[in-house]
Amino acid sequence: MTTQWTGKLIGGLVGLFTLGPFGAVLGAVLGHQYDQGTAGQGAGATRSFGAHFFTATFEVMGHIAKADGRVSEREIAAARAVMAALRLDEASVHAAIGCFQRGKQAGFDYGGTVHALRRASVGRPDLLRIFFEIQMRAALDGTDLAPPTRGHVQRLAQMLGISAWEFAHIEAALRSGGRPGARPAAAPGLSLDEAYAVLEVASGASDAEVTKAYRRQLSRHHPDKLKANGLPESMIEHAKERTQQIILAWERVREARGMRS
């Protein structure tokens, strides 16, 4: 029987970006429960999507790592850090390395791979955002998003339908605490700049615009709404964490501006 790992992979990714290494373990456990729950229920489609997500994750990572013509030891370490944080078993690590190597090759069909993932993710934009955050994290750890790499990541964002505005805020969030080992962005000590980044609104926006941004973000990440739209159970904790983060950011900005509730 083919091993089901879609939920474990996605759950691990969610945990990675919300709670660090411990969160990756928790996410994988929740994902395993999701895998068990979906066994026999459209299993072929689940495996198909999981295959798209897994292979594309590491192929694209390898392609972006080769953006400046060579893959440095630091970039290899960044890719291995992602594999380690996801708690991939030996066979999965071997497969991920193979994908990474394919992505580095000159003939790799980068555009076709990304477009195939986007087609497979129709109706699941949250998963595409997670995919992009993984690539951003690897690029930051690998080159600190140096010019050649930044250009490739910007192209990826365009292909996934992620705006320049979203790109900037995702980068800011990851730099300020959205990576393993860094201070969680949802911590009580959230800075004002980080709070604006979480709400995805400019610091010079009007009170009305800030309020609108807060409500938009809250609606986008509301666990019940996402679950109703097909969000796997393994990702519900991510939605809850993001909702908490948004509320904390709103409180930080509201207090700084002297806004009423």
Query: What domains are there in the chain, each with its CATH number?
Result: 1-175 (no CATH), 185-261 (1.10.287)
| Total residues found in the chain within this entry | 261
pLDDT at position 4 over 80:
no
Residue 170 confidence (pLDDT) above 50:
yes
CB 117 within 8 Å of CB 52: yes
Q: How confident is the model over 126-166, as pLDDT tens digits?
A: 778 878 878 988 999 999 999 999 999 999 999 999 999 88
Q: What is the pLDDT of residue 175?
A: 76
DSSP 124: -
> Side chain identity at 114, as an amino acid letter?
V
Q: Please state the rounded mean pLDDT for residues 29-58.
A: 57
Residue 126, pLDDT score = 72
Assign 40 a pLDDT band (cuts: 50, 70, 90). Answer: very low
What letter does residue 235 receive in the DSSP assignment? G
The candidate with the shortest Cα–Cα distance to 30, out of 14, 54, 47, 53, is 14
Whether the predicted pLDDT of 17 surpasses 80: no
Two tokens at 42?
């459209």
Cβ neighbors of 245 (< 8 A, separation 6 or more) are 185, 186, 198
Q: Does residue 244 or residue 163 have the better pLDDT?
A: 163
Percent over 70 (pLDDT), the chain: 65
What does the mean pLDDT of the chain come to?
76
Q: Which residue has the higher pLDDT, 10 or 131?
A: 131
pLDDT attached to residue 74? 95
The 10s digit of each residue's pLDDT in 77-103 is: 999 987 876 667 788 889 889 999 999
Q: Which of 50, 39, 37 is nearest to 9 (CA)?
A: 50
38 band by pLDDT with thresholds 50, 70 and 90: very low
Higher model confidence: residue 243 or residue 194? 194
Whether 259 has a pLDDT exceeding 80, the answer reads yes
Average pLDDT over residues 228-237: 46
